[in-house]
Amino acid sequence: MKEIRITSREAGQRLDKYLVRYLPGAGKSFLYKMMRKKNIVLNGRRAGGNELLQEGDALRLFFSEETLKKFMSRETSGKELPALDSSRILYEDSQILAVNKPAGMLSQKAEAGDLSLVEYITGYLLKSGSLREEERFGFHPGIANRLDRNTSGIVLAGKTMKGAQALAELFRRRGMEKYYLCLVRGEIREKRHIRGYLRKDEKKNQAAVTSRPQENAAFIETAYEALARAGGCTLLRVELITGRSHQIRSHLASIGHPLAGDTKYGDPELNSRFRRQFGLKHQFLHAWQMRFPKLEGALEGLSGKVLQAPLPAELKKILRNLNLQEDLYE
């Protein structure tokens, strides 16, 4: 038998969801069967799975050590996780963490063997003492805004279930301003607010944007202004008003201004030029700034703050070589 005491970090989630995280090798139907048979009990009573866990709750698993080991994932076996470098932490309090994700890192796992930002943040929290080893079995830092693998910049994560839920609600109601920096083809001078409809082909991982509503297409809204122009390109500050996957990349490409380095939606000739001249192998897109309104509760620490992620060195170098002023993006 194993007894687990629910901590403040884990509180607020449903029991069945906690069990799926804690015992990922056990199917949901098996877990419900174990609750019905009282092999899993909450505070000494039979559980249904829909209970909201509270701090201090006692969860008992009447399994053998061999069975527990079988149902627990490789990550729960004591394997040390890589830790995110502390220089990438933009903001941290007891509930929330803001990090500057590097290009090339997944926000979340795509396959079981992947190491994503979630694992790096978990490693950081373990190393700093903010997360105990036994707590990571039933809780993973909740990523609130997923960036594409090759997009760098600000990612927010909940250090507790309460923090993760509050962030999810903030993003759902578009409760903050989100700004990106990108380098696009063409010389742009006007400030624009554009709208459209995006349909994502999940199998191909590619989006198409149209000006009119279509079946299974989501409404998108993007605003941008030019910061500087050089070499037939424009550095844009983009406000992401809605937040769909590939929105900035596909929306700008649809109006004739694809991102430099974007192999999916970009201009092959421009990409080839930037690869030869600057070694750029991915899209020039960076989640640069977030501006928060007055907030309370779990997000009180972010109230009125402006978070800004420095541009990666490789992108700064490109802008310097194009003779674009640093005060435009610092």
Q: What percent of the chain has pLDDT over 90?
A: 83
Report the C-alpha gap between 231 and 322 in whole angstroms.
Answer: 7
Q: What are 221-230's pLDDT values in tens digits?
A: 999 999 999 9
Q: Are residues 144 and 34 in the same domain?
A: no
Residue position matching structure tokens 């990571």: 136
How many domains, in total, are found in the chain? 3
Pair 120, 183 in one domain: no
151, 293: one domain: no
Residues 57 and 86 placed together within one structural domain of the fold: no
Does residue 169 have a pLDDT over 90? yes
Give the residue from 72, 107, 127 where a domain finishes: 72
| Amino acid 78: pLDDT | 47
Assess whether pLDDT exceeds 50 at residue 310: yes
Same domain, 46 and 116: no
Closest CA to 18 of 139, 134, 123, 124: 139
Identity at 108, one-letter amino acid code:
Q
Per-residue DSSP letters for 46-70?
E--S-PBP-TT-EEEE---HHHHHH
Average pLDDT over residues 273-277: 97
With 80 as the cut, is the pLDDT of residue 327 above it? no
- What is the pLDDT confidence band of residue 279, given thresholds at 50, 70 and 90? very high
Q: What is the pLDDT of residue 285?
A: 98
Are both 115 and 192 inside the same structural domain? no
| Distance between CA atoms of residues 330 and 324, nearest Å | 12
Amino acid 62: pLDDT: 96
Q: Are 96 and 169 in contact (CB under 8 A)?
A: no
Domain span at 144: 79-172
Do residue 204 and residue 304 come from a single domain?
Answer: yes
pLDDT of residue 241: 97
With a cut of 50, say whether residue 132 has pLDDT above it.
Answer: yes
Quick: pLDDT tens for 44-97. 999 999 999 999 999 999 999 899 888 886 554 446 789 999 999 999 999 999
Band (136; pLDDT cuts 50, 70, 90) = confident
Taking every pair of Cα atoms in the chain, the longest distance, rounded to a whole number of angstroms, is 70
Considering the domain architecture, whether residues 40 and 101 belong to the same structural domain is answered as: no
CATH number of the domain encompassing residue 165: 3.30.2350.10
Are 192 and 88 contained in the same domain? Answer: no
- Spacing of C-alpha 217 from chain mean position: 22
The answer to whether 103 and 152 are in contact (CB under 8 A) is yes
**Do 296 and 225 fall into the same domain?**
yes
Render 180-215 in DSSP notation, one character per residue: EEEEEES---S-EEEEEEEEEETTTTEEEEESS--T
Task: Give the mean pLDDT of 289-297.
Answer: 97
Same domain? For 36 and 168 the reply is no
CATH classification of the domain holding 45: 3.10.290.10
Average pLDDT across the chain, whole number: 93
Co-location of 241 and 182 in the same domain: yes
Q: Are 85 and 123 in contact (CB under 8 A)?
A: no
Mean pLDDT of 315-326: 89
Give the pLDDT mean for 198-202: 94
